[in-house]
Structure 1
Amino acid sequence: MSSSRLKKGIFGTVTALGILAVGFVGGWEGKRNVAYRDIVGVPTICFGETRGVKMGDTATDAECATMLGDGLVEFEAGMRSCLRDPDAIPDESYVAFLSAAYNIGQRAFCRSSMARRWNAGDLRGACDALLMWNKAGGRVIRGLVNRRKAERELCLKGLK
């Protein structure tokens, strides 16, 4: 089993799947070069990065791109650790799950119905479970509803 489907080889060459993941996740997260508070008040920068961010932080476009790429590889490793046979997940479904893991966190993803259903052999059910993750701060957020619908659509393409 490989350790990453986003990067390959000794030099960490980005794969086509890695490019799809960066484009998909980056498109949903949007980019801000100055730290801001997200919808629940967490300091956030670039493409949704929250780890170690303080209000007043700034980043260049290049730093934001590096943070996103490195973050996706890190979240991919966490996601893979709780999935049975992650290399058997179709590419589109894999990116949808990675997008969700990046957004909700590795721990939450690994405890989710998405992971449980995939591990039980139910890819369609795992894709459908994406729709459950539409809340922040205890309330339904329109942007999360839209993101989860898009992730589910991408996920279901893996069934075809």
Structure 2
Amino acid sequence: MNLMAYVDPVGIPTICYDHTDSVKLGQTRSKAECDRLLNEELGEAIHAVDRLVKVPMPDTRRAALGSFVYNAGAGAFARSTMLKKLNAGDVMGGCKELLKWVYAGGKKLKGLERRRTAEAKLCMQS
């Protein structure tokens, strides 16, 4: 968590727990503000997962997909092959799609590779 705004690896002003909406460099937030933003955005991400995934899933998969949506956005998830595969019952295929989402700004990022590997592992648990 960063209480002061910074530029992420692809040049986007970011603060707190990777919050990017309306962030300006030089801006600061308190830990309480960051925690509130995280709770709101995670709630929205989980709501999107619940709305878009049409098949039953364990809490581990829901958490993994919520993490993905928090990071990549509900629109990206809604249009993804990952969602199509999951809703078609191809759990392994859908979860493996997470491993393709490791690029930002056209660059392959180690941090995204680590994140997606962890999400895929969690997604595949039943």
Structure 2 segments unaligned to the other structure (5+ residues)? none
User: Sequence identity, in percent?
Assistant: 41
The aligned residue for residue 9 of structure 2 is: 39
Distance 1:57 1:112 in 2: 33
Distance 1:52 1:147 in 2: 24
Deviation at 1:113, TM superposition (A): 1.7
Choose from 41, 44, 48 the match for 1:71. Answer: 41
Q: Is the 8 Å Cα contact of residues 49 and 62 (structure 2) preserved in structure 1?
A: no
Distance 1:39 1:147 in 2: 15
Structure 1 segments unaligned to the other structure (5+ residues)? 1-30
* TM-score (normalizing by structure 2): 0.93
The aligned residue for residue 114 of structure 2 is: 146
- Number of matched pairs: 126
Are 2:91 and 1:126 equivalent residues in the alignment?
A: no
Are 2:74 and 1:109 equivalent residues in the alignment?
A: no
C-alpha offsets along residues 84-133 of structure 1, whole Å, 9 cap, x if unaligned? 14xx2111111111111111111111111221111111111111111010
Q: Is the 8 Å Cα contact of residues 45 and 67 (structure 2) preserved in structure 1?
A: no
* TM-score (normalizing by structure 1): 0.75
Deviation at 1:56, TM superposition (A): 1.7
Tell me how large the CA RMSD over aligned residues is. Answer: 1.2
C-alpha offsets along residues 115-158 of structure 1, whole Å, 9 cap, x if unaligned? 11111111111111110101111121111111111111111112
- Counterpart residue identity of residue 157, structure 1: Q
